[in-house]
Every structure is written in C-alpha cells, then in structure tokens.
C-alpha cells in the first residue's frame, strides 16, 4: 500500500495485479451539483495522471444528509459529464448517505438533526451544534 499526499487531499493506493483502489478525500463546499462533478472529474484526472490510472470504474462518495447536494441531481450530472471523458466513461457513481447528527452542549446528548433541528429534543436547549452530516467526501476510487 502506498500513500500519496497533495494539498487538500489524501490518497491511499492499494495495488493488486490488475486492479487499483484509491481512497481519496476531498472537502467540497459551496458548489452546485454540476460544478461539484466537474471539480471531481478534474481532480480525478490529476490523480489518474499521478498514479498511472487508465480507467476509473467507480467512484464512491460519502454525502451528508444536510450537505446541500441533491443525490439524484449529482447522479444525473455525473452520467452526463463522466461520459465526456475517456478516463471515466461508463464509470459508476456510488453514493453513501451519512446521517446528520447534532450535539447538545447542555445535556451532552446526540440526536438526529433532520428530525429535530437546532432545539435539543431531550432538554430543549438551543446550545447545540452539528457534529456530522454536511460532509461531501470522495471515499473510494476503483480504477485500473
């Protein structure tokens, strides 16, 4: 296993005889779905050049429940944009949904953000903050 580091991302490369898996983490904020897809494709093209990758078969994303990205729009944008690149043509986009969780500073409990919002359902406090659920991470790239 090899690890590659570039500013803004972390890569882990595990090679087998005919198959490579690259774990790639990128935080993306403030972009619409098509812009997100273009950013991913640009970065994966660079990763492909740096790691002698010729074909990306699938990309696994972890998408937070309150990330602001609509999974169906992202999938549609991916199909359209990936088809225009030789490296990612016919690649599969896999989306793993991550639940949004909020933490209450007063009662020290966690709860579902989407279900209850900012007000803690246990103690009624507004002293809460989002623990997770706004992520947009590229978890894995399957490539040859």
123 belongs to an annotated ligand binding site: yes
Known binding residue 104? Answer is: yes
58 within 8 A of 94, measured Cβ to Cβ: yes
Any idea what the Cα angle at residue 85 is, between residues 50 and 51, rounded to 5°?
Answer: 15
Stated length of the chain: 144
Residue 80 backbone phi and psi in degrees, to 5: -70, -50
> For residues 89 and 82, is the Cβ–Cβ distance under 8 A?
yes
- The whole-angstrom separation of Cα 84 and Cα 68 is 25
Q: Is residue 107 part of an annotated ligand binding site?
A: yes
Q: Please tell me whether 116 is known to bind a ligand.
A: no
| Annotated binding-site members for Ni(2+) | 32
Q: Which residues are annotated as a binding site for Zn(2+)?
A: 104, 107, 120, 123
Binding-site residue numbers are 32, 104, 107, 120, 123
């Amino acid at each position: 296993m090899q690890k590659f580091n570039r500013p803004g991302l972390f890569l882990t490369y595990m090679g087998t005889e005919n198959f490579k898996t690259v774990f790639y983490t990128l935080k993306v904020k403030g972009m619409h779905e098509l812009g997100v897809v273009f950013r991913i494709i640009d970065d994966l093209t660079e990763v492909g050049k740096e790691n002698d990758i010729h074909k990306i078969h699938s990309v696994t994303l972890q998408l937070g429940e309150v990330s602001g990205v609509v999974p169906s729009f992202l999938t549609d944008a991916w199909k359209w944009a990936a088809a225009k690149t030789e490296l990612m043509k016919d690649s599969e986009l896999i989306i793993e949904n991550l639940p949004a969780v909020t933490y209450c500073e007063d009662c020290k409990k966690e709860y579902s953000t989407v279900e209850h919002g900012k007000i803690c359902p246990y103690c009624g406090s507004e002293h809460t903050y989002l623990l997770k659920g706004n992520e947009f991470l590229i978890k894995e790239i399957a490539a040859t």
